[in-house]
Amino acid sequence: MNYGHFDDKNKEYVIETPKTPYPWINYLGSDKFFGLISNTAGGYSFYKDARFRRLTRYRYNNIPLDNGGRYFYIKDEKEYYSPTWMPVKSQLDSYECRHGMGYTKIKTMKNNLKTEILYFVPLGDNVEIHKVKIKNIDEKSKKFTLFSFIEFCLWNAYDDMTNYQRTYSIGDVEVEGSTIFHKTDYRERRNHYSFYSVNYPIDGFDTDRDAFLGQYNGLNEPEVVTKGESNNSIVSGWNPIASHGIKLELAPMEEKTLVFVLGYVENDKEEKWDSDNRMNKVKAHHLINKFYDEASVKEAYEDLKNHWNNLLCKFTVESHDDNLNRMVNIWNPYQCMVTFNMSRSASYFETGIGRGMGFRDSNQDILGFVHQIPEKARERILDIASTQLEDGGAYHQYQPLTKKGNHEIGSGFNDDPLWLILSTVAYIKETGDFSILKEDIPYNCDINNTGTLLEHLEKSLQFTLNNLGPHGLPLIGRADWNDCLNLNCFSENPDESFQTCDNKKGRTAESVFIGGMFVYIGKELAQLYERLGLDKKNQEVLSEVDKMVQCIEVHGYDEGWFLRAYDYYGMKVGSIENNEGKIFIEPQGFCVMAGIGIDNGKALKALDAVDQYLNTKYGLVLLWPAYGKYHLHLGEISSYPEGYKENGGIFCHNNPWIMIAETRLGRGDKAYEYYSKIAPAYLEDISEIRKLEPYVYAQMIAGKEAIRHGEAKNSWLTGTAAWNYEAITKWILGIKPDFDGLIIDPCIPKEWNNIKIKRVFRKATYHITIKNPEHICKGVKKVFVDGREQHSNYVAAFEDNLTHEIEVVMG
């Protein structure tokens, strides 16, 4: 069942009903000021950090679920309603929501009054624009009152929801003309405030939530709206809001546009107060004036669209498959940008309170983002590296506002350090910028203890070598990529977190998965050393890689597939010997990606086992069979019901590892089968089953042993976005950046004929045509560069600001 459709020309998804199976959201902002917005205008806004700089309030797991946001009410002589459907939920005569690249439009009509609201964050400004256009298409004039509504959060979202004995006494606002300033705590330690303004004279306002709603009313029936008159309330403590009351009259076919601006301002310490010792509003006035007229808003909106058009033109594909085209050209890179900005902090499944920027997560996110804005990727790599510990280990996350690591969601995940190598090499291959390796970076944010980025990478690899177990395989620590495989935890206390509780001491529990990672990423580091002319280091790394390959071949392979791990007692996990959890997806993916077992047939057997045991109509499950009871020695993974999350769910994050592995074996048909099973555009017709947005990836889909097989959870903020982009662009379509050029090595379905790809790489544009006359999956027979045949599929980087024609003939 469809709830909308793709508009590829405008790069939008058009939602045709407010009653989607779950709130279908979008993200506003691309730099510092961000917002989440649903198809009925739910969500919230924040500056940099969704925990410490939350501007507007949002209640997760609410009833109804998506209740609270950027709302408007229209009250005429007979009734009132919301032009965004929520929160009043009155029947509308028409409804359409368009989620685009960094903006959302909601168009509705009721009683011959057409309303169009455009929400977006302009480039370079810390404001969110709500442009409201209302047109009377009736034959008679219409009188009505428009009410705005946002609810301020008192900055720290955790305190805002927990520390009421304080927060109920600190709310502080100021009204100046048509602007409502939220200045809670400004008199004390804060130097920032927010505001909500409109470019029109107001007839009233409210800043007290209870005065606006009434003591016993909800957002669906505010007392102010029902009576049609603002109270002009000034809050003191309690719950600050911003609501404007504007009385309007429109003649037949008359149209009026109002611009509402939600903004954030930080003042320097010496400029905190004006000459009269009042809050300095100079920056706020500048922003209000900047977007006061419709023309300036239109210009900012066009700038935003052009910004995204420029980003998305850096890699495009033209094929026979519309779903492939829209995923590669629009929605997958767009999601990669969002995950780069958010990491795993703020979504409709992540509250913005519990998680910040993940060390592992953010490094992986760079893989799908680096080609869009390389300089931002560079900055992020340096930020991540500065939180690394001196022994090469890593905090599992850091807060975006402070950029300091913390243990709030645990540490000691032994895969973390290796990801820094992968993101750094990906950046250098994309840009050719080796200078990043010379950057002097702190350890643990201590400016008195530093090392170059290259030294950080060396420590990352050495951390794994310093933490090997009895079989020569990497120790798992608290966990590896699979946060829920807690082999040293042994938690019997339901009130403690698996990720933060004390681990048993010991150096026995090993991860075959990290071993595969070490081989794959170790080869990347070795290539880097070779390119730098560091032959001794290159050989040292390759020697350690060879040793790890031998350990995995001998101790990490078990009758048809790669083992998952050895537990605290030295027993096999992910083995045919186990009654549950016989086979896991992660080591099959990364070990084959690393080339392990390709020459001796073990890789082929492993991938055939994946197809036999893990494949379903909705994607590959993480393990099989799922655990039917809690196993103390395995941890959180066995605490989930069968078929959900890590316990046999379809973890979309690691499905692309199998896609990439299949391309290593030349099986393009299989790789593309797996790709199309989880790419959201292909699943639009089963939206009533999948439930989540059909334009972005979800982290997890319920597996074959689950009651709701095919139902997705945790959309938007997932490494799934970056890894699927990596799989489809570099391994299936086969356009791989390298230190000095592009390697073109497609692995596609046999039935495909011609594919056209545009790739902007460094300072040149490549128009690549792939021809498949023999209908094979893999193999390049001829390559023509600007009409001249060359004897390699390695196309050197031109960097001449010109366009080059590349023709690749498979065979």
Distance, CA of 323 to chain centre: 20
**Whole-angstrom distance, CA of residue 514 vs CA of residue 534:** 25
| Nearest of 318, 291, 49 to residue 192 by alpha carbon | 49
Distance, CA of 580 to chain centre: 32
Residue 346 vs residues 51, 97, 103, 478: alpha-carbon distances, Å: 9, 22, 17, 25
The residue ranges of DSSP E strands in 461-547, in sequence order, are 510-511
**In contact, 102 and 29? CB cutoff 8 Å:** yes
β-bridge pairing 780-785 and 803-810: antiparallel
Element (H, E) at 476: none
Q: What are phi and psi of 497, to 5 degrees?
A: -85, 140
683's CB contacts (< 8 A; 6+ apart) are: 618, 690, 694
Beta-carbon neighbour count of residue 763 at 10 Å?
12
**In contact, 805 and 440? CB cutoff 8 Å:** no
527's CB contacts (< 8 A; 6+ apart) are: 425, 739
List residues bridging with 701 in a β-sheet. 650, 712
Three-state SS annotation for 525-584: HHHHHHHHCCHHHHHHHHHHHHHHHHHHHHHCECCCCECCEECCCCCEECCCCCCCCCEE
- Of 160, 365, 483, 567, catalytic: 483
Tokens for 563, please give them.
Answer: 């083992």
| Nearest of 728, 737, 795 to residue 761 by alpha carbon | 737
**Whole-angstrom distance, CA of residue 764 vs CA of residue 803:** 6
379's CB contacts (< 8 A; 6+ apart) are: none
Element (H, E) at 408: strand 405-411
**Whole-angstrom distance, CA of residue 31 vs CA of residue 125:** 9
**Whole-angstrom distance, CA of residue 613 vs CA of residue 249:** 66
Collapsed DSSP state (helix, strand, coil) of residue 713: strand
Count how many Cα atoms sit within 13 Å of the Cα of residue 592 in the half-sphere of its side chain: 32
Beta-carbon neighbour count of residue 563 at 10 Å?
29
Residue 175 vs residues 8, 222, 274, 734: alpha-carbon distances, Å: 43, 21, 17, 58
Tokens for 117, please give them.
Answer: 């609201």
**In contact, 94 and 105? CB cutoff 8 Å:** no
β-bridge pairing 113-120 and 127-136: antiparallel
Element (H, E) at 2: none
Tokens for 318, please give them.
Answer: 């033209």
DSSP code for 614: I
**Residue 483 known to be catalytic:** yes
Tokens for 646, please give them.
Answer: 């890590």
**In contact, 241 and 231? CB cutoff 8 Å:** no
Q: What are phi and psi of 364, to 5 degrees?
A: -70, -40
**In contact, 653 and 720? CB cutoff 8 Å:** yes
Q: In the chain, what is the greatest distance between 2 CA atoms, to the nearest angstrom? A: 85
Beta-carbon neighbour count of residue 664 at 10 Å?
18
Distance, CA of 452 to chain centre: 29
Tokens for 206, please give them.
Answer: 């409210």
* 367-372-374 Cα angle (round to 5): 75
Just list the catalytic residues.
483
